[in-house]
Amino acid sequence: MGYSDRAFVVDVLTLSIISVAIGAAADELTFMSAFVPLVLLGRFGVWALLPIEERGHSVAAEVVFFGFCTALGAFNDWNSVVNHQIYDYTVPHYFPGFS
């Protein structure tokens, strides 16, 4: 594989594994609450093992960017559902006071 191909494969496999889990167990909140973060941690671990030439940037930069994107996505979901009521659904959760 050439430049950054392995980093791309790591991301494709991560998305594929999580997508299959969503299709198979989306209604299992406890399982998904543990499984998705574990897969993402595994992704960061495997990605960190790649040579810097294939990654293109540091693990710290990747974590910061991931956190920023996660926060932006969470804000978008909250804003769309709670403020603008674009979607008529709620998210399963353990804490009813937060919905």
Q: Is the pLDDT of residue 97 over 90?
A: no
3-state class of 94 per DSSP?
A: coil
pLDDT for the residue numbered 81: 82
Q: Is the pLDDT of residue 2 over 60?
A: no
pLDDT for the residue numbered 3: 55
Alpha carbon dihedral 10, 16, 18, 23, in 10-degree steps, equals 180
pLDDT tens for 33-47 read 999 999 999 999 999
- State both tokens at 82: 């709670």
- State both tokens at 26: 């989306």
Average pLDDT estimate for 44-66: 93
Diameter over CA atoms, the chain: 50
Query: Whole-prediction pTM value?
Result: 0.78
Q: Give the 3-state DSSP-derived string for 61-91, with helices as H, strands as E and coil as C.
A: HHHHHHHHHHHHHHHHHHHHHHHCCCCCCCC
